Amino acid sequence: LIYKNYIQICVLQLPDSSMVCEKCEKKLSKVITPDPWKSGARNTTEGGGRKVGENKLLTMNKGRYVPHKNDQFNRCRICRSVVHQPGSHYCQSCAYQKGICAMCGKKMLMTKNYRQSTV
């Protein structure tokens, strides 16, 4: 009977696929792929118009991802590796190990009875 209750408790505390709390989940409202431009579309990357006859060699590198740029992404407060999510203070592996939110550091999960691995 005790073992059965223990399993029920563990099932209730299974981690989510992303280690972000409910409060910080509202900050993740942006989608990676933008909607096609329509009048009233909210998730667009451009204003809708495009230049005619522009030189693509000059304008191609403006919106490019630069991995070595320090102001774009923070470093993890625990292991000091680069965090791949804007606005987060902890990397995904440290947040999973500690059972905390990756953005604010709030305790989300009791990891005492888990047998976790980082691989």
Q: What would the pLDDT profile of 56-113 be if each residue is shown by its tens digit? A: 877 777 666 666 665 667 899 999 998 888 889 999 999 989 999 999 999 998 888 8
Instruction: Decide if 51 is inside a domain.
Output: no
Instruction: Decide if 77 is inside a domain.
Output: yes
Least confident of 5-14, 22-31, 75-84: 5-14
Instruction: Decide if 59 is inside a domain.
Output: no
Neighbours of 72 (CB within 10 A): 11
Count the helix, strand and coil residues of the chain and give each as a percent rounded to the nearest 5.
Answer: 25, 5, 70
Instruction: Decide if 81 is inside a domain.
Output: yes
- pTM of the entire predicted model: 0.53
Q: What's the domain range around 97?
A: 69-108
Cβ burial 27-61 (10 Å sphere, 16+ → b, else e): eeeeeeeeeeeeeeeeeeeeeeeeeeeeeeeeeee
- C-beta of residue 88 within 8 angstroms of C-beta of residue 75: no
Instruction: Decide if 4 is inside a domain.
Output: no
pLDDT at 14: 40
* 89, 96, 100, 111 from 117: Cα distances, Å: 21, 10, 16, 12
pLDDT at 29: 58
Q: What is the number of domains present in the chain?
A: 1
Residue carrying the six token digits 């409910």: 22
Instruction: Decide if 97 is inside a domain.
Output: yes
Could you tell me which residue, 61 or 17, shows the higher pLDDT? 61
Instruction: Decide if 101 is inside a domain.
Output: yes
